[in-house]
Structure formats: C-alpha cells, structure tokens
Amino acid sequence: MHRNFGWKRCAGVAALLTALAAVPLAAHSQNVMNNLLNSLGGGLGSAITGGKAAPAAQGDDLISLLTQSLNNIDEPKEIEIGRQLAALLLGAKPAHPDMALQRYVNRLGRWISLQSPRPGLPWTFVVLDDAGYNAFAAPGGYVFVTKGLIDRCADESELAGILAHEITHVTAKHHLQAIRQSAMAGVGTQLLASQIRTSNVAGQLVKDQLLSLFRTVYTKGLSQSDEFEADRSGVAMAAKAGFDPYGLVSVLQQLRTVTPDNPMFTLTMSTHPAAQARLDYLEQSMGRQLDGLGGSRATIAQRLGGGGGGGAPAAPAPANRPAPATKKAG
C-alpha cells in the first residue's frame, strides 16, 4: 500500500478513532455511524475535505515516549503512541464510506478482542477504502483492514482469523517493540526532539523523521517469530470466540497461490513469511488440536443482510460447536 503521509491531514483523524471506540456493541441503528461522522467536526470530515483539524500532539512528545525503556511505556502511553500512529495510518488512506461495514467489523473485532489477554484496551477497527489486500495494527488496540481484503474473504471465519492475528500483534506489543527499536537506532532523533520547541525547522525535521520511522517499520514488516506467534495465537483466539479455527488456514492456503507480481498483494507478501512456511508452522505447533472444534462460517454478506446496509448481528458465542470434518493445514 502506498503511504503518502500528510502530517496535517493525519492530525485530525484521531477524532475518528476515538469516536469509533465509543460506539457501543449493542448499537443497531443505521444512523449510529452517520451521526458519529457528523459529530466529528475536525476529525474524519476535516481530514477528507481539508478543513481545520484538532492539533495533534507534538512530535517530540512521541519521540520521547518511543525512546523510553519498554518497561517504562505503560498502557496509557502505549495507547497514546498507537493513537498518533493510527492517525498517520488513517491519513494515508481514507476510511471506507460504508458505515454498516465499519460497524460490523468493529463489532466482530471487539468480540474477538474480548477473548484476548488484553480485553480492556480501547479496541478500534477501521476498514480502509483500498482495493489492495492488507491488514495491520498499531499499539494500544488499533486495527486496520482494507476493503480489498474483506472482499477476498470467503466467509466470516477467514476475516475473524485475520483480525485475531492482528489483535495478537497488539497484545504482544510486536509493533511497539519494533517501532521503539527503530527510534532508538535513529541518528540525531533525540537531539532534534530537544530543539523542536525553539525551532520550527527542527520541528518539521522531527515530524519527517517520525513519518520515515513509521514507514520503515510498516514496509519492512515484523520478525518471522512475531508473525508465527500471531498466527498460532490468532487461530486459538478465533476458535475461542466461536469461529471455525481453520479460517486463517484457509486464508494462508489462498495466499500460497498468489503470484509474486500481483500488485494487490505486494505489501502483504513482502512483509510476511511465505504462506507455506506459516502453514507448516501451524501444523507443527498445533498439530490436530483444533480438529474437534467448529464454529461460524457465515459469509460476510449474510452478516450484513445480503450485502446491504443491514445492522451487524452479534458475534457467535463459543458454545456447543459441532465438530467439523477433519482438515489438515497444508
């Protein structure tokens, strides 16, 4: 995904993230998200139209957080880092205008997050208006998926597996660690940060360096061990949430057939281990432990009321799951 970041455009979209996080799980009205957007003021509307937006936190504040010891970055600081980073990510691509879809993905993601080790984070899920195939997360509970990815999900269990994978990246602080390591390695970053309040030029340099830092982490990708952990924990989390545990396996089997020159999958393929390696790891680490578990394989169109603007139903409860036919990850 091309990331043409605009700092001013990104600053206002944090309001969208905060507002999305405030949408109650029980909300069914089609007007909920429409009213939400109308109330954003300097948030999403300003980001799209170019209007004035609420000021973002200073770049040096974020640099200061990132250069601290990981043990000193408590949960509120982690959430603040993620909020600013999520605003930058959302500034790269607009949110998809289908509010029923946004509400559905938020409800689905939050249900799965309740099965995670950190259910209390302000979990926020956003669908980006991008035809490419991608999903990524930011510290503190922010998860993004592209419309192109959703369109390529055969059923809900596949999307659930992908969301659970990204949720694991957040709960295990994978991106937080990677971003902090890159920040610590940045030459002159702390010096520039110390000068930001007395020099507009230095301030812009810090912002530019911050953008470069984020781009580097998200285009380079995480370590292979982080991705393997997210696959393993994500499969278990999706099963615990009541979804077919082979949803993510199905996704990986599809990715295995993608040609390297397919532009829709370029970033996903370049930032993750080979699909076959991921399938092999799941088989080796989990064996046939999940063969006795079943769960929802409803299609996303069914959940959205035949693909229209119907309200998103509650996610399935993880009870009385029938055992599916035996499957093998490979």
Q: What percent of the chain has pLDDT over 90?
A: 43
What type of residue is 244? D
**282 within a domain of the structure (yes/no):** yes
**Residues in contact with 243: Cβ distance below 8 Å, sequence separation at least 6, in sequence order:** 112, 156, 157, 160, 161, 295, 296, 297, 316
Q: How distant, in Å, are the alpha carbons of 274, 310, 327 from that of 30?
A: 40, 7, 39
Question: Where does the pLDDT of residue 182 fall: very low under 50, low under 70, confident under 90, or very high at 90 and above?
Answer: confident
**What's the pTM value of the predicted model, to 2 decimals?**
0.73
Alpha helices in the chain (DSSP H): 7-11, 14-21, 31-38, 44-49, 59-66, 75-92, 99-113, 147-151, 156-171, 174-185, 189-195, 200-220, 224-240, 247-255, 266-270, 275-286, 300-303
Over 90: is that where the pLDDT of 41 sits?
A: no
CB 150 within 8 A of CB 162: no
pLDDT in the model for residue 184 = 72
**85 within a domain of the structure (yes/no):** yes
**71 within a domain of the structure (yes/no):** yes
Tens digit of each residue's pLDDT (9 = 90 or more) over 222-276: 999 999 999 999 999 999 999 998 999 999 999 999 998 899 999 899 999 999 9
Q: Which one of 47-61, 72-86, 161-175 scores highest in mean pLDDT?
A: 161-175
The count of structural domains within the chain is: 1
The DSSP code sequence of 127-174 is: EES-SS--EEEETTTEEEEEHHHHHT-SSHHHHHHHHHHHHHHHHTTH
**24 within a domain of the structure (yes/no):** no
Over 90: is that where the pLDDT of 141 sits?
A: yes
**1 within a domain of the structure (yes/no):** no
**Residues in contact with 35: Cβ distance below 8 Å, sequence separation at least 6, in sequence order:** none
Over 90: is that where the pLDDT of 207 sits?
A: no
Q: How high is the mean pLDDT of the chain? A: 73
**244 within a domain of the structure (yes/no):** yes
**141 within a domain of the structure (yes/no):** yes
Question: Where does the pLDDT of residue 21 fall: very low under 50, low under 70, confident under 90, or very high at 90 and above?
Answer: low
d(CA 124, CA 137): 10
pLDDT in the model for residue 302 = 75
Which residue did the predictor score with more confidence, 216 or 316? 216
**160 within a domain of the structure (yes/no):** yes
Q: Residue 220's domain spans which residues?
A: 59-303
